[in-house]
Amino acid sequence: MTPGLIYAVTGLLLFVIGAAGVVLLAHALRKILAFNLMGSGAFLVLVGLAQRTGGVDPVPHAMVLTGIVVAVAATALALALVRRLHVLQVELHAKDASVAETEDA
């Protein structure tokens, strides 16, 4: 069991846990964290499997660098959406509360 294979197996497990997390977890922030776990798992698999024979392969390294940047970009957009949703829902609750107040009064 070479180190490369150990990384790959860990990556696969992380991927599956992350995927299950995105589906099962309720809170949006946790879903985003689970997605990052999925991504990291996929990167580990990519790099680990390439190393399983013992050599150093620069192509998966470049792919993972690209993948990390893409994951950062996607996470930022997802977080912005969560933030926007939160702000809008707070506004909605504030509006409902003030409408309820004027109805009571």
Partner 1 sequence: MKALLRGTVVLLALALATLMLVAVLDLPMPTVQLPASVAANLAQSGVEHPVTAVLLNFRGYDTLLEIAVLLLALLGMLSVAGPQTAPKPALHVRPDPVLQALARLAVPLMILAAGYLLWAGAHRPGGAFQAGAVLAAAAVLLNLAGLLPAWSTPGRLLRLGLAGGFLLFLAVAAGLLVEAELLHYPPEHAGGLILLIEAGLTVSIGLILAGLFLLFGARPAAAAEES
Partner 2 sequence: MPDSLFASLFDPLPWLIVLPLAWASLAFLLGPGRGGRLAITSLALQLLLALSLSEQLLNEGARIYPVGGWGAPLGIDLAADGLSALMLLLTQVVGLSLAIYARAYFAAEASAAATWFWPLTGFLLAAMNALLLAADLFNLYVTLELLGLAAVGLVAAGGGAAQAAAALRYLLVSLMASGAYLLGVALIYATYGSVSFATLTPLIAAQAPQAVWLAAGLMLLALMAKTALFPFHFWLPPAHGGAPAPVSALLSALVVKASFYLVLRLWLGGFAPLGAAIAWLPGLLGAAAIVWGSYQAIRAQRLKMLVAYSTVAQMGYLFLIFPLLAADGLAFQAGAMQAVSHGLAKAAMFAAAGVLIHATGQDSVRGLGGVADRVPLTLFAFALAGVTLMGLPPSGGFLAKWLLIDAALHQGQWGWVILVIGGGLLAAVYVLRVLRQAFLPAADASRFHPVPRLMEWVAFGLAAASVLLGLRGIELIALLGVGGTA
Q: Would you tell me which residues interact with partner 1 (CB under 8 A)?
A: 5, 8-9, 12-13, 16-17, 19-20, 23-24, 45, 49, 52-53, 55-59, 61-63, 65-66, 69-70, 72-74, 76-77, 79-81, 83-84, 87, 90-91
- Minimum separation from the CB atom of position 13 to partner 1 (A): 6
Using an 8 Å Cβ cutoff, are 85 and 61 in contact?
A: no
Contacts of 16 (CB under 8 A, 6+ apart): 41
* Count of residues touching partner 2 (by CB under 8 A): 36
Q: Which does 72 bind (CB under 5 to 8 A by kind): partner 1, partner 2, none?
A: partner 1
The CA distance from 105 to 94, in Å, is 16
- Minimum separation from the CB atom of position 61 to partner 2 (A): 12
The CA distance from 64 to 40, in Å, is 9
Q: E-strand spans in the chain?
A: none
